[in-house]
Amino acid sequence: MSTRVFTVVFTVVLSVFLAFSSLSELPGWAAPFPQQADSAPQSQLLAQAATTPQSTSFVSAAVNRVGPAVVRIDTERTITRNPDPFYSDPFFRRFFGDSFPTQPFEQRLQGQGSGFIVDGNGTILTNAHVVENADRVTVILKDGRSFDGEVTGVDEVTDLAVVKINIRGEGLPTAPLGNSDQVQVGDWAIAVGNPLGLDNTVTLGIVSTLNRSSAMVGIPDKRLDFIQTDAAINPGNSGGPLLNERGEVIGINTAIRANAMGIGFAIPINKAKEIMPILERGEQVSHPYLGVQIASLTPDLARRSNSDPNSTVTLPEVNGVLIVGVVPNSPAASAGLRRGDVVTQIEGQPVTTADQLQSIVDRSRTGQSLRLTVKRGNQTQQLSVRTAELQPSALR
C-alpha cells in the first residue's frame, strides 16, 4: 500500500509542477497586465485625435495658396445683326405677316471665362478672347465680391489681356508667378478655373510636352509656343492659371481644340510677364512679320514632291524652310520671295524648321532688315527683307 500511495502522490506533484512550468512560458501569464490607471479616458483620446492636423496633398496646398486669387470674368457685348432675307420675301410675309424683323437689330451676347490677380493693385491676367470687344466686364472673386473690370490692353496675337479692378481699399489675394523656363515634361500641372459655369474647379495632370507651336496646334492666327498638358481644360477655363506642385503659376490656360481628347494648352507665364507691362499701359504690342506661309523641308520630302508628276515646282533637296505662300503687298512680296523658295539661313544662322525661322523673326524689331539665304531651284540667292508691323487681319 505504501508504494501505491507514494506513486499516486508523486504523480500528482509532478503534474502540478509541469502545469506551473507551462503557465510560466505563456507571455500573457508570465507578466502582470500593465496598469492603466493613469491613462486618459477614451473620450479624451477621441477628442485629441479630432483636433490633430491631418496631412494634406500638394494639390490641396497649391490650390489653397492660389485659389482665392482665381476670378470669374463675366462679359457682355452688343452686336448688330441683319435679318434673314427670307423674312423680307413677299411670299413668306403673305403667309406669316409682319411678326418677323426686316430691319437690322441689336443682340446682347454674354460670355464667361477665368483670370487671376497678379498684384494688390487689382491687375488681372486673362485671355484676349475672353474680354475682346466686351462692352462690360464683371470680375467675381471666390469670396463673392464683385467688381467692374476695365480692360487696359488686349493682344490678339498672343491671346493675352490685362483687366484692372478698383480695390476700394480692400485687400486682394494674389497668385505667385513661377518661371515657365524651368518647367520640364512630366512635371505636375494643376488647372484652376470656372469651366462650364462651375466655379472654383480644379483638375490635375502632368506637363505633356513643351514648346508646342500654335501652328502645330492648328491655331495659325496666334504666335505662341504652348505648354501642353493632360489636365482637363474645358470652356470657361480660358484665362485661368496652370500651376506647378508648389502653387506657382506656370501658364495661362487657353487654346481648347474641339477635337482634342484629354489635351489642353497653356501660354507660358514668362511670355505673359514680357507683355503684361505693355498691356497695363494700354499700348500696342509689336509683332514683326515677313508675310510668308512656311513649312519645314527635308531632302526626303523634297524628293517625294519632285517625283510627283502633278508637282508645279522643283524643290532643292536640302534641309530648310519652304515658302508655301507669299502674302500680297507684304515685306516678303516686296523683297522678291516666291512660292517654292527654300530659306536655309537667316542673319547667317542656319534654319531647318519653320519654328526656328518664326522664332528669329519674332525676336527681331519692326522695321529691321533681315538677310536671308534662299535656294531657288539650283541657284542660291541673298535677299534682304525689312519686317513690318503685323496686323491681326493679316493672320486670317
Tell me which residues are annotated as active site: 129, 159, 238
Which three cell numbers, joined as nine digits, stand for 354? Answer: 519653320
Which three cell numbers, joined as nine digits, stand for 193? Answer: 478655373
Which three cell numbers, joined as nine digits, stand for 204? Answer: 490635375
Distances (CA, A) of 61 to 55, 182, 204, 245: 10, 21, 13, 9
Estimate to the nearest angstrom the gap between the alpha carbon of 107 and the chain centroid.
Answer: 31
The values of phi and psi at residue 247, to 5°, are 80, 25
DSSP character string of 131-147 = HTT-SEEEEE-TTS-EE
Which three cell numbers, joined as nine digits, stand for 389? Answer: 508691323
| Residue 210 CB burial class (10 angstroms; 0-12, 13-18, ≥19) | middle
Distances (CA, A) of 17 to 24, 70, 213: 11, 79, 89
How far apart are the C-alpha atoms of 125 and 220, rounded to whole Å? 23
